[in-house]
């Protein structure tokens, strides 16, 4: 019994296949595509991490600002009532589960207005700093508060 091998090219006795150069080029293209896919995933995950950290920073800034807005004018005017520094964590229920620690400062200063009510206004600046990998990041929120502000309606 004879086995006859034939290829698609029609030459009898030859087996069709890829040459070493064709296989190398094919693997190179596949490797490039896999590398680009992994790079895209890494970039996307890092972008999501930064967005989550930004969102948490915004939450911390607003929490501090809203707390200050609820203080009475006498409490705000007291020199040591509002702590000038604070720290917060990415996950407040479990600080050790995520390595991001936010350190912040609160600055209360007279409002830079030249009106007769300038003694009844203060400018509040809450600044937050943290690190994402080796990248230093910061956010800042500034607002005005007045003697006749919302705190008079709460108490």
**What are 86-139's pLDDT values in tens digits?**
998 887 777 666 678 899 999 998 888 777 777 888 899 999 999 988 889 999
Nearest to 56 by CA among 135, 128, 150: 128
Note the pTM of the prediction, 2 decimals: 0.71
Overall average pLDDT of the 36-49 stretch: 93
Percent of the residues in the chain that have a pLDDT greater than 70, as a whole number: 83
Average pLDDT of the chain is 84
Q: What is the DSSP letter of 151?
A: H
pLDDT of residue 150: 57
Neighbouring C-beta atoms of residue 53, cutoff 10 Å = 19
Nearest to 103 by CA among 90, 91, 85: 85
The pLDDT of residue 75 is above 90: no
Neighbouring C-beta atoms of residue 104, cutoff 10 Å = 23
């Amino acid at each position: 019994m004879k086995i006859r091998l034939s290829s698609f090219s029609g030459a009898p006795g030859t087996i069709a296949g890829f040459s070493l150069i064709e296989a190398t080029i094919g693997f190179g293209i596949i490797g490039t595509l896999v590398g680009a896919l992994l790079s895209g995933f890494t970039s996307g995950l890092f972008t999501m991490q930064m967005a989550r950290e930004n969102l948490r920073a915004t939450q911390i800034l607003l929490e501090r600002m809203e707390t200050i807005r609820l203080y009475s004018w006498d409490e705000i005017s007291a020199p040591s009532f509002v702590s000038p520094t604070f720290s917060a964590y990415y996950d407040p229920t479990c600080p050790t589960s995520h390595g991001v620690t936010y350190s912040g400062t609160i600055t209360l200063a007279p409002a830079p207005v030249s009106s007769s009510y300038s003694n009844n206004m203060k400018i509040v600046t809450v600044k937050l700093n943290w690190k994402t990998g080796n990248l230093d990041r910061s956010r800042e929120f500034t607002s005005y508060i007045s003697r006749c502000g919302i705190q008079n309606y709460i108490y």
